[in-house]
A and B are shown apart, each in its own frame.
Chain A
């Protein structure tokens, strides 16, 4: 495949030649817009042999080394763990398990500063290696043949995208076979200084291809393209050779190709490499897999191969240790959890490492708040560039360099302008979320404006504002819901009260008008059996009806009922009795209930009760005052009539039989007294009130009057 490098089309070579005089001509060599040509300094770390088997004194393993949710430790402090042992995992969502990189003891699980731009601490497992490097027996998984089995394999091995963002790889793999047309192997490695992928391609090309083969087989991918920047001639050669060495069976189904691409930053971006290799723009609202493209970093594929063929989970990775501040930069096959400082110290720093090390390359890397931070799954480079004088940021001169350099063809200058004046809706309209934060714009800006940081800030600010708006909306909804709920409760309460009063009023009305029928109808459900037994006396039915709700009262009433029945038997029929008795009962019932309610409300604030009761009775009393008189008159008349009737009945009963019971005699002597008696019994049961019947009757007359009124 080296012929590809040597025999490029004439136009290509002409542009390259032109590029020597006019560097920007090189922009014609590739398909995407913009791009920059920084000094690469790749030979720094490429010339030293790979450092392997370096076991530091302490491994710091953050519980979150990927996008998604953090894992939970499966070990506790003091545990001895073996190499490859799974030490943290979670099933709470998108995540990848973490395995012990070597054998040793867990000495702590505590927050440590993370390799994150915030410099905030996060929970880490601190593992003290014992130097023996004892490994757990590995179980060979089955070769994945379906997307599902590949997903399981990748997840179990804790593999995440090793190129940068650290998106758990299993989540990237589609669920069905055949929906991916292109697997793109990202070997572009466009960042200056970094050579770890280059090293990997030179040293383990078979593993990369094996990984690609596995993925292609499992997903039924017809075409695998490996994009390598043409400044890595050796890697292109080894990879091409290794591709020829792939088994013929695999080659029949899938087309494996190495494609040298122009050396330009940011060739290694997903969108850029896709556009370069298959001339496809990934729509900004879609994921790459939705348009049939799956991109994997060379290191990810090698890790998949290791997991599939040897059962090894991801415990180490290639890391470039480089920078202007180091005498002997190198590439290392470093265990996850190795601290940056330990690696940088090994590279013989020119000056003490008092300045912050950078995780990643100089274009997109992040400077660390502590040099003790560990290498995690996504760390591809530890960069020690001593700080130089930074030029102060000048005002933007609208030169448009940034726009010419932007690979996404955004308008960085306008983005900056609006970000700076906090017009975030405009920033969003200018598609800030399509910005890949590649840093090209800042790199070329003659005014040295930290453009990318403005966009990062704007992005997080927009997200924050949106979240806040969401929270405000939620709060608003919840508040409104609460108001509605309170109102509903209030209404329900009122409705209940009203219903009660209605019932009372209705009964009162019924008793005054046509007592017998109505009360009988009302009673039917409550005491059907007893009704049958006491069919002859409607009075008793009514009493049972009223007594139904309360058991204590019921008993008392039962006794009263029995007496009444006896009395009734004796006094066979007395229709005139009816008007008096139900009325009396009706008076009893609300009185009782109110008492009970008052009892129940004893714990309630006294003042409140007083206030409301007063106002209620006042209100009720005033409009009702005029009518009370007439009602009372009516009632008195009715009572008088009843008493007359009772007296008649008494006489008749006396005549009928001599051997009357004591009780029945009392009852029949004064018929009006019989309900009074009942009432007393009920009252005794319900909190033993020692009030006299007359007093009550009077009180009832007063308080009962309003209820029909309020309804009107």
Chain B
């Protein structure tokens, strides 16, 4: 109970925890959509990740002689694990998510000094780690119930996650995502339009799970924009850059390049636009810097998707742009009032 040493003596009552919880709440629609389309696997993954987060973070804070309670209760770790959970396939083995979380927290966060000091987005670092280490596990997605014809129960999901054994008769539950298919097609020299036309995902009677999860993320994101948990520069810069790239190349060669709508609503685009790249710690702080940062990610994502060897390049795009943050911060400083130029 004491006054702050100096003014201001009042505060707008915001806090790190509040901001992080807002982000967490905004992820709920997407979580529900995810459960609806892909089953309860994600809740198991989420629970696993949270436990891993609590254990690892407590341990690390103890090791670093930092107070545990304030740094756990700031909820920044929760956002990291949520980001990871949405990225990895819901039915991937349990050790995938656990190692991703451990890697993210140890190498992405605490080795750099904890909250506020990490140059790289920890969630993306963790995800990139498992993506490179266990590509097979991480690229096999549970297919939407509409395609596989089976809605996994919680028990079945748990069985798959912990034992790796599919329930008898359900071997074709997982497969490549639309993005994967496209990537494969592109690598093989097939045209995007044809692939898409012949794809099993392109069935008007079917509900494309990825599309709707993305829409749910969009809704949560808009709410975050409103509550000022995130800045408009991230989604606007990222989505418009991605859309522009897609439109440009689609216009040049509609056969090879997928349309804008496909790019915007597939993979983890909306997740990235509102939940991943908006991580303030590892992004630029100036308004212009943020815009450039987001645009850079958008462009890189498109490039990796079309010409890279990974189906979705968000993780790498984000990590690459993280490297540019100091530069962006340096050269996008706004003009100070009363000064000419920068």
Contact = CB atoms under 8 A, between A and B. Distances in A.
Direct contact of A and B (CB under 8 A): yes
Interface of A: 22, 24, 32-33, 36, 38-39, 117, 192, 271, 275, 281-285, 355-356, 358, 360, 362-367, 383, 385, 387-392, 394-401, 403-404, 407-411, 413-414, 430-431, 434, 437, 439, 442-448, 450, 452-453, 456
Contacts of A407: 337
Nearest to A454: B6
B280 A391 contact: no
Contacts of A283: 338-340
A383 B281 CA distance: 37
B252 to A, nearest CB: 37
Interface string B7-29: 11111101110110000000000
B335 interface: yes
Given A33-B337, A271-B337, A456-B6, 12 more contacts: A281-B338, A390-B2, A392-B70, A394-B15, A394-B70, A394-B116, A401-B14, A434-B336, A443-B8, A443-B11, A444-B12, A448-B11
Task: From B11, B15, B283, name the one whose CB has the most chain A CB atoms within 10 angstroms.
Answer: B11
Interface string B225-247: 01010010000000000000000
Contacts of B5: 367, 450, 453
A18 B2 CA distance: 37
Name the 6 nearest CB pairs between A and B, nearest first. A395-B116, A284-B338, A439-B8, A399-B280, A446-B14, A362-B9
Contacts of B329: 414
A395 B15 CA distance: 11
Nearest to A365: B7
Interface residues of B, number: 43
30 contacts: A39-B10, A275-B337, A283-B339, A284-B336, A358-B3, A360-B7, A362-B9, A365-B7, A367-B3, A367-B5, A387-B1, A394-B16, A394-B74, A400-B285, A400-B286, A400-B290, A403-B285, A403-B287, A403-B334, A408-B338, A409-B337, A411-B334, A431-B336, A431-B339, A444-B14, A446-B15, A446-B18, A448-B15, A450-B5, A456-B6
B67 to A, nearest CB: 9
Given A24-B228, A434-B338, A434-B339, A366 B6 contact: yes
Task: From B231, B329, B336, name the one whose CB has the most chain A CB atoms within 10 angstroms.
Answer: B336
B286 A403 contact: yes
B4 interface: yes
Interface string B103-143: 00000000000111100000000000000000000000000
Nearest to A36: B12
A443 B12 CA distance: 6
B261 interface: no
A355 B9 CA distance: 13
Task: From B6, B116, B335, B337, name the one whose CB has the most chain A CB atoms within 10 angstroms.
Answer: B337
A32 B14 contact: no
Contacts of A447: 15-16, 116
Contacts of B7: 358, 360, 362-367, 437, 439, 442, 452
A452 B76 contact: no
B8 A452 contact: yes
A338 B283 CA distance: 52
B187 to A, nearest CB: 38
B153 interface: no
Contacts of A271: 337-338
Task: From A355, A397, A407, name the one whose CB has the most chain B CB atoms within 10 angstroms.
Answer: A397
B333 interface: yes
B337 A391 contact: no
Contacts of A387: 1-3
B336 A410 contact: yes
B2 A409 contact: no
Contacts of A395: 114-117
Contacts of B3: 355-356, 358, 367, 385, 387, 390
B12 A398 contact: no
B9 A389 contact: no
B8 A397 contact: no
Interface string B168-192: 0000000000000000000000000
Given A363-B8, A395-B117, A403-B285, A411 B333 contact: yes
B327 to A, nearest CB: 14
Prevailing SS type, chain B contact patch:
loop
Contact of B337 (A388, A408, A445): A408
A313 B4 CA distance: 37
Contacts of A452: 6-8
B339 A284 contact: yes
Contacts of A192: 10
Contact of B9 (A22, A367, A409): A367
A445 to B, nearest CB: 8
Prevailing SS type, chain A contact patch:
loop
Contacts of A367: 3, 5-7, 9
Nearest to A355: B3
Interface string B36-56: 000000000000000000000
Contacts of A403: 285-287, 334
Contacts of B285: 398, 400, 403, 411, 413-414
Contacts of A444: 12, 14
Contacts of B10: 38-39, 192, 362-363, 385, 443
Nearest to B289: A400
A398 B283 contact: yes
A437 B7 CA distance: 9
A408 to B, nearest CB: 5
Interface in B272-310: 280-281, 283, 285-287, 290
A578 B193 CA distance: 132
B336 A358 contact: no
Nearest to A323: B9
A383 B10 CA distance: 12
A446 B19 contact: yes
A253 B280 CA distance: 55
Contacts of A413: 285
A282 to B, nearest CB: 6
A394 B7 CA distance: 18
Contacts of B335: 409
A408 B338 CA distance: 8
A594 to B, nearest CB: 74
Contacts of B334: 403, 409, 411
B280 A398 contact: yes
B24 to A, nearest CB: 15
B112 to A, nearest CB: 11
Interface in B190-215: none
A398 B286 contact: no
A434 B76 contact: no
B151 to A, nearest CB: 39
Nearest to B18: A446
A409 B336 contact: yes
A399 B1 contact: no
Contacts of B290: 400
A411 B330 CA distance: 11
B1 to A, nearest CB: 5
A82 B76 CA distance: 65
B9 A385 contact: yes
Task: From A367, A396, A400, name the one whose CB has the most chain B CB atoms within 10 angstroms.
Answer: A400
Contacts of B281: 397-398
A408 B339 CA distance: 10
A185 B130 CA distance: 64
Contacts of B339: 283-284, 431, 434
Given A397-B76, A414-B329, A446-B18, A38 B70 contact: no
Contact of A397 (B11, B12, B16, B333): B16
Given A400-B280, A409-B335, A365 B15 contact: no
